[in-house]
Copies of this chain bind each other. A is one copy, B any other.
Amino acid sequence: MSTSGLNMSRRIRRTPYTDRVEQHGVRGFSVVNHMLLPKAFEPSVEEDYWHLRQHVQIWDVSCQRQVEIQGPDAARLVQWMTPRDISKARVGQCLYVPLIDDQAGMVNDPVLLKLAPDHFWLSIADSDVLLWAKGLALGAGLKISVREPDVSPLSVQGPKAEDLMAKIFGEQIRLIKFFHFDYVEFQGSRQLVQRGGYSKQGGFEIYLNNGSMGSALWDVVWSAGKQFNITPGCPNLIERIEGGLLSYGNEFTLENNPLECGWEKFCNLDNAPDYLGRNALQAIAKQGHTREIRGIMFDGGPCPPCGKPWPVHAENVEGLQIGRITSAAWSPRLNRNVGLSMIDKPFWTPGQKVAVCSADGMVRPGVICALPFP
């Protein structure tokens, strides 16, 4: 076992697709929501990156657990948790919703799926939104059911995803708009399919409802995908950083507010709707937030993995520390390193010169960029 070995136990939950992922020779995992997330396949993250941009991949993203909120008070609870106005969302639509606490700290940044006026799924990042939503509902005495259903998303990502999905589920799949969902028939069951996913290359997520069908679904997608040059994959670090896709726990935590994440467009700062943390968020907005997430492009050849935040200084290493890089990778396309960072206000303008202190002890010259990267 290597230094970075992961000890397996039931507590780190396997998914309906883990057997298949292991058969495909997965080389590493992360743990998200107490569940395995594949993180590396042969031959390399760089090869995966190029493949993802050209073909199609199948990803086990079961760790995007669903928190199901259902009942007469469901819409009220969801609205209470997010500064985004959900009142105009239609059934069949998805919304990216920052969840905040009473101090406007980020609790999670799920995708909200509106299944019915009184029935929602929150497709979550890495924190126990189930306990958060349950706690709020029980504390306030809301009439509501909050649970984690047996739903495990399988993601089909890349430019050939639509053709592959149409081959499997029929041409109507092409009619699903971005960040909308519809239902398909799969081996006698009804399954939800959303257009979206954790890449910028386009694709779909199949929210498999019934884990015992996991291998069957994987096999159908895999077989149909052969003509499209399908490979097993996972959220790709290089592609994610280039696309400016943030990760809860990496780029931001409970210590950050949604304005720091650049999500003012998802924050209703008026007095309606009422939500937890509204007063705190209004106060922050009035005063102006003091740091925000930015891209950084930097030199010095391929950087090591960013296992802990790297200091970022203004101009050069003698300069003031102005923030930290929390995710970084070598971009073979841009031929430079790309990183995501939280940067102090006076320095967050694109073009600002910086020095990055990477874990290998190097000081690397770089520049602040807008997101996504070009």
Contact = CB atoms under 8 A, between A and B. Distances in A.
A180 interface: no
A207 to B, nearest CB: 21
A10 B131 contact: no
A5 B7 contact: no
B8 A5 contact: no
Interface in A79-134: 101-102, 107, 126-129, 131-134
A247 B12 CA distance: 12
Contacts of A141: 139
B40 A5 contact: yes
Interface in A2-21: 2-14
A261 B70 CA distance: 30
Contacts of A101: 134, 138
Contact of A139 (B4, B5, B140): B140
Contacts of A40: 1, 5, 7
A9 B142 CA distance: 37
A11 B250 contact: yes
A54 B27 CA distance: 37
Given A131-B128, A136-B138, A28 B6 contact: yes
A22 interface: yes
Contact of A11 (B2, B8, B133, B249): B249
B102 A131 contact: no
Contacts of A134: 101-102, 132, 135
A31 interface: yes
Contact of A135 (B1, B30, B32, B135): B135
Given A5-B6, A247-B11, A137 B139 contact: yes
Interface stretch (A166-174, A213-221, A293-301, A303-311): A303-311
Contact of A31 (B10, B12, B307, B309): B12
A270 B48 CA distance: 59
Interface residues of A, number: 57
A360 B163 CA distance: 40
Nearest to A18: B308
Contacts of A155: none
A126 B34 contact: yes
B3 A4 contact: no
A39 interface: yes
B128 A326 contact: no
Given A139-B140, A140-B139, A8 B4 contact: yes
Given A135-B132, A137-B139, A308-B14, A30 B7 contact: yes
Contacts of A248: 11
A228 interface: no
Contacts of A9: 30, 247, 249-250, 305-307, 327
Given A5-B6, A132-B135, A12 B27 contact: no
26 contacts: A1-B28, A3-B27, A4-B6, A4-B7, A4-B29, A5-B27, A7-B29, A7-B40, A8-B305, A9-B305, A10-B306, A10-B307, A10-B326, A11-B32, A13-B249, A14-B308, A34-B127, A107-B131, A127-B131, A129-B131, A132-B134, A133-B135, A134-B135, A136-B136, A138-B139, A139-B140
Per CB-CB distance, the 4 closest pairs between chain A and chain B, nearest first, are A139-B139, A135-B135, A11-B249, A5-B28
Given A1-B4, A9-B306, A34-B126, 12 more contacts: A1-B28, A2-B27, A4-B29, A5-B5, A7-B28, A7-B40, A8-B305, A34-B127, A129-B131, A131-B135, A135-B138, A136-B138
